[in-house]
A and B are shown apart, each in its own frame.
Chain A
Amino acid sequence: MNGAYADVPGYLLVFPVVYGAVAYFALAMARHLRVFAAAGPSNPFASVPRRAWGLIVYALAQAKMFKDARAGLMHFTIFWGFIALTIGTADIIMGGLIQAVVAWPLDGALWTAVTALQNVAAVGVLLALGYAAWRRLVSRPRRLALTRGALIILGLIGGVVGTELLAMALEAARSGDRAGAVVANALAVPLRGLDPRLLEVGFLTCWWAHIALVAAFICYLPGSKHLHIATSFFNIYLRKLAPRGELPAMDLEAESQTFGVRTIADLGWKDLLDGFTCTECGRCTEACPANATGKSLDPRAMIMGIRHLAVDAERGLNLIPNSPLVRDAYGLDDRLAPAALAVPIVDAAIPYDAVWDCVTCGACVEACPVLIEHVDKIVGLRRNLVLEETRFPPELNGAFRNMEQVGNPWGSPRADRMDWTKDLPFPVPTAAELARAGTLDSLDVLYWVGCAASFDERNRKVARAVATCLSAAGVRFAVLGQEESCTGDPARRMGNEYVFQVLAAGNIETLKRYGMEKRTIITACPHCFNTIGNEYGQLGGTFEIVHHSVYLQGLLAAGRLPIAADGDGPKRAVTLHDSCYLARYNAIVAEPREVLRQLPVIELREMEKRERSTFCCGAGGGRMWMEESRGTRINEERTRQALATGAQAVVTECPFCMTMIRDGLSAAGDRGAGVQAIDLAEVLAASLLAPAAAAGATQTSGPRQG
């Protein structure tokens, strides 16, 4: 059976060596899986076609890797090159079976082609490895850590590929060119003059070194960061398919359970798979605005920390599981280390402060090539801290209390909810008024104003601009007025699921009472938009909600908003700050830009970090109500990026972004002087031809609140 490898003395040794390594690999992986069994349930199996398509996009085409084009190409080359080369190794460990089958038709032309492909792949992989080593050792991008593990992996891959190519070249030098081996044959030319005995020793050394390195590589994998080559396919297939902005549901009545996540046993097993899939590439940490501004949050360290906790829990497990019989007879323990399973994740995998540094902007999730979910885990940790330990930044006491008692985080009286409508030249009816008058059926849309636009002085102007645009387009709209409450987004993202569910249940009931399940709701707040659209479904409220940027763009496209013609004056340069919950969470990036493009007086200057790769303003995840005392301020960093475009105004599409950018501009001193933060609706309202634009929508100076 060793026909193809008849010239390799001791060939049969390949089998115990490689299959022994494979057996070790399987047992080590099974040991990882036994920790999974101790974790909570996950159920990521529905929607097989979508999951399979994800494998093609993220695993085979590696779509996310190419955001960093050079690193992406390097990885793509190693991945596909390695697969091509594995054909050769697989042939060796299968006694030449592959070669026999592939070489059978077309007089072996197919095998010749495979050989040629492998030769080219080997060169590609070696070049890519050289680049990878250069990055680790010389250019050293900030996100890459120089670890022993990384160098061992580069060395192993280089060794596996190099020895295979060299063995082929030495063999070609000894026994003549091999069909298709373009690179090996070329390498053989200068070797031909060497002593045949030397060539033979060289060949055998390289050939066996290749086998030894393959076995070593297989054994090294289960405990290394390179395990992703085995796990990432599963992680991608089993990824979260729910909308990214939908946090996991939670049953508050289930009193026997731990609320939120305290230890790895409270995570789902898919969360542990996330840990075993992390390759420490650091894209998450590089993208993290909290990390970029000097805070202790390091998403990569958290994921790896979770993995280390899982590995610690394995300590009590034998590699080969004992049967109960053996356990009874010899008393060998084969259980997970209970102490490791009881270690709180907070402080072990992530510092307490870092849990609260997170703005839940999702930049880490967006950046991760293997689709790890960081934010859901952080919110899980917050849930446990808030609901069980009542440990949270003291500022949140007030925000929680206000949301609970008066239905908004600012603590403003409900009676003030309609104050923003004062002096508007058109009426803004409430749904209750229309219902009383029996004219609710004539409604086109319900405008969900949100707390910020109801109570914050600056954002009230945005509400006026939205209403002005709706009125100018002849849209029949109403608001909920005093019946509106906070959607609960901040409470949920601060871990207070109880307050979220109380608020959400109230809002769902109100919306249903007015039949809003069959109507369109619009809002200028991406957080309200995300929570009503993506999260209320968990509590039985399915609503169609549209962000104002999309709705206004639709009105523009339909010709319902008359825009003032271009004057002779210079264009006003603006930049657009994408909101995380709009752009990254809900993929709305085209419509706000389209609105700006439609305005003849506006010139859009883009920032480098934009659209789905936008950089948070610093207010997400409830950070709006927390002090930012660690590191520098995220909003000032984002404002710096905006000012670098030379824009005269920063267009926002979210009330929190508005507040944060506005603060950032005033903190920027002279550089920010004369630069405005202005909502998309205000830009549009100011360009309207109709006199309705005079409704005060363009005035942006005035007292500030909050």
Chain B
Amino acid sequence: MQVVVLTKSVPNTTGDEGLGPAFRLDRNAIDPIINPNDEYAIEVALRLAETQPGVQITMLTMGPAAAWPGLSKGLAVGVHNAILVSDPALEGSCALGTANTLAAALRRITFDLILAGADTSDGRAGIVGAAVATLLGIPFITHAGTLAVGNGAVQVRRLRDDGHERLEAPLPAFVSVTQEVGDLRYPSLRGIMGSRSRKPTTWSLGDLGIEPADAGGARATTIVLDVEPPQPRLPARIVAGEPGAVVGEIVEFIAERRIVS
């Protein structure tokens, strides 16, 4: 069974990240990592490979070549192959453009199941997965907590506000997962060492048969007009003193702001 995990390269949120021209991420200032939500998808894939024979896992990423070192962790934990779609013309792609490119790449390979995180920590659109599934014409299930494959279908259990529900879709299918899955395992030293020398299969737009003029910022369906930093957080107020008096003050504070009605 072929499992493809879509993994986006995102900046590590260390407080050092900043924006460059056209409000695009300044890639020089950041330390690229795998989108944390996509890590859950890798973990799901690894668990499938542990329980089923013949599971092959491929990571698929669209991003700059500099994203690779941050993505190699996937190979360190046990992903079999990595594909990086990278082309200068892709810079500034909108969500739909990204989905078009990923779908084009997916059409070139065989897959039974596509996995991805529910959204990404930088863009936060949460729409690329749905767009890819639509473009490929395959079923799409969101927010899976646990996942099983059998009888040519994928069974998903997912959390709702009022409990859990179980869903099923025939393969091939696209499933997005949540942190309910659990953290991605830590790589073994042998895994880290083995992944260091490996490089991803890299495809350009030409490999995918897409004209550079039809991709990237030039064809973006959305543009960023403006950004502004959040208001600095007010310093915390610390209430000290006898327990009785402290409780009174805190209750008053909450009541004043009608935090609890």
Mark A residues whose CB is within 8 Å of B.
252-253, 255, 259, 386-390, 392, 394, 397, 400, 405-406, 413-416, 497-498, 701-703
Minimal beta-carbon separation of B252 from chain A (angstroms): 20
Cross-interface CB contact of A415 among B14, B185, B190, B193, cutoff 8 Å = B14
| Closest Cβ neighbor of B182 among chain A residues | A394
Residue from B33, B187, B189, B238 having most chain A Cβ neighbours under 10 A:
B189
Cross-interface CB contact of A388 among B12, B33, B189, cutoff 8 Å = B189
Minimal beta-carbon separation of A505 from chain B (angstroms): 14
Cα(A702)–Cα(B237), bound, Å: 10
Cross-interface CB contact of B190 among A388, A397, A703, cutoff 8 Å = A388
B188 to A253, Cβ gap below 8 A? Answer: no
Cα(A572)–Cα(B220), bound, Å: 70
B193 to A703, Cβ gap below 8 A? Answer: no
Residues of B within 8 A of A406 (CB): 12, 14
The 4 closest A-B pairs by CB, nearest first: A413-B15, A387-B189, A415-B15, A413-B14
B15 to A400, Cβ gap below 8 A? Answer: no
Residues of B within 8 A of A400 (CB): 186
Cα(A415)–Cα(B188), bound, Å: 30
In residues 12-63 of chain B, which contact A (Cβ within 8 Å)?
Answer: 12-16, 31, 33
What would be 11 A-B contacts, judged by CB atoms less than 8 Å apart? A390-B185, A390-B186, A400-B186, A405-B31, A406-B14, A413-B13, A413-B14, A414-B16, A498-B189, A703-B236, A703-B238
Residues of B within 8 A of A497 (CB): 189
B189 to A413, Cβ gap below 8 A? Answer: no
B186 to A252, Cβ gap below 8 A? Answer: no
B181 within 8 A of A: no
With A387-B188, A397-B183 known to touch, is A405 a contact of B236 (CB < 8 Å)? no
B240 within 8 A of A: yes
A405 to B14, Cβ gap below 8 A? Answer: yes
Cross-interface CB contact of A255 among B186, B193, B238, cutoff 8 Å = B193
B89 within 8 A of A: no
Minimal beta-carbon separation of A89 from chain B (angstroms): 55
Contact string against A for B residues 167-211, beta-carbon threshold 8 Å, 1 for contact and 0 otherwise: 000000000000000010111111011000000000000000000
Cα(A400)–Cα(B192), bound, Å: 14
Residues of B within 8 A of A259 (CB): 189-190
Dominant secondary structure at the B interface? loop
Residue from A252, A389, A406 having most chain B Cβ neighbours under 10 A:
A406
Cα(A126)–Cα(B190), bound, Å: 58
B188 to A255, Cβ gap below 8 A? Answer: no
Residues of A within 8 A of B183 (CB): 394, 397
Cα(A413)–Cα(B18), bound, Å: 13
| Closest Cβ neighbor of B73 among chain A residues | A404
Residues of B within 8 A of A498 (CB): 189, 192
| Closest Cβ neighbor of B194 among chain A residues | A255
A414 to B33, Cβ gap below 8 A? Answer: no
Residues of B within 8 A of A255 (CB): 190, 193
Cross-interface CB contact of B238 among A253, A387, A416, A702, cutoff 8 Å = A702
B16 to A388, Cβ gap below 8 A? Answer: no
| Closest Cβ neighbor of A392 among chain B residues | B186
A390 to B193, Cβ gap below 8 A? Answer: no
Cα(A414)–Cα(B188), bound, Å: 26
Cα(A392)–Cα(B187), bound, Å: 12
Minimal beta-carbon separation of B187 from chain A (angstroms): 7
Cα(A390)–Cα(B187), bound, Å: 7
Residues of A within 8 A of B13 (CB): 413
B185 to A252, Cβ gap below 8 A? Answer: no
Residues of B within 8 A of A387 (CB): 188-190
Residues of A within 8 A of B33 (CB): 405
Residues of B within 8 A of A415 (CB): 14-16
| Closest Cβ neighbor of A388 among chain B residues | B188
| Closest Cβ neighbor of A497 among chain B residues | B189
Residues of B within 8 A of A253 (CB): 193
Minimal beta-carbon separation of A611 from chain B (angstroms): 36
Cα(A406)–Cα(B17), bound, Å: 12
| Closest Cβ neighbor of B185 among chain A residues | A390
Residues of B within 8 A of A413 (CB): 13-16
In residues 215-254 of chain B, which contact A (Cβ within 8 Å)?
Answer: 236, 238, 240
Cα(A416)–Cα(B192), bound, Å: 29
B15 to A389, Cβ gap below 8 A? Answer: no
Residues of B within 8 A of A397 (CB): 183, 186
Cα(A392)–Cα(B183), bound, Å: 14
Minimal beta-carbon separation of A396 from chain B (angstroms): 8
A701 to B240, Cβ gap below 8 A? Answer: yes
Residues of A within 8 A of B190 (CB): 255, 259, 387-388
Cα(A95)–Cα(B227), bound, Å: 100
Minimal beta-carbon separation of B176 from chain A (angstroms): 23
Residues of A within 8 A of B189 (CB): 252, 259, 387-388, 497-498
Cα(A702)–Cα(B13), bound, Å: 27
B193 to A414, Cβ gap below 8 A? Answer: no
Cα(A703)–Cα(B31), bound, Å: 31
B31 to A390, Cβ gap below 8 A? Answer: no
Cα(A701)–Cα(B15), bound, Å: 27
| Closest Cβ neighbor of A412 among chain B residues | B15
| Closest Cβ neighbor of A394 among chain B residues | B183
Cα(A30)–Cα(B123), bound, Å: 69
| Closest Cβ neighbor of A405 among chain B residues | B12
Minimal beta-carbon separation of A256 from chain B (angstroms): 11
Minimal beta-carbon separation of A419 from chain B (angstroms): 11
| Additional 13 contacts, C-beta under 8 A, given A259-B189, A389-B188 | A255-B190, A390-B185, A390-B187, A400-B186, A405-B14, A405-B33, A406-B12, A406-B14, A413-B14, A415-B14, A416-B15, A497-B189, A498-B189
In residues 104-124 of chain B, which contact A (Cβ within 8 Å)?
Answer: none
Minimal beta-carbon separation of A421 from chain B (angstroms): 17
Cα(A27)–Cα(B193), bound, Å: 45
Residues of B within 8 A of A702 (CB): 238
Cα(A389)–Cα(B186), bound, Å: 10
Cα(A405)–Cα(B15), bound, Å: 12
Minimal beta-carbon separation of B134 from chain A (angstroms): 34
Residues of A within 8 A of B31 (CB): 405
Cross-interface CB contact of A414 among B14, B186, B236, B240, cutoff 8 Å = B14
Residues of A within 8 A of B16 (CB): 413-415
Minimal beta-carbon separation of B175 from chain A (angstroms): 24
Contact string against A for B residues 1-15, beta-carbon threshold 8 Å, 1 for contact and 0 otherwise: 000000000001111
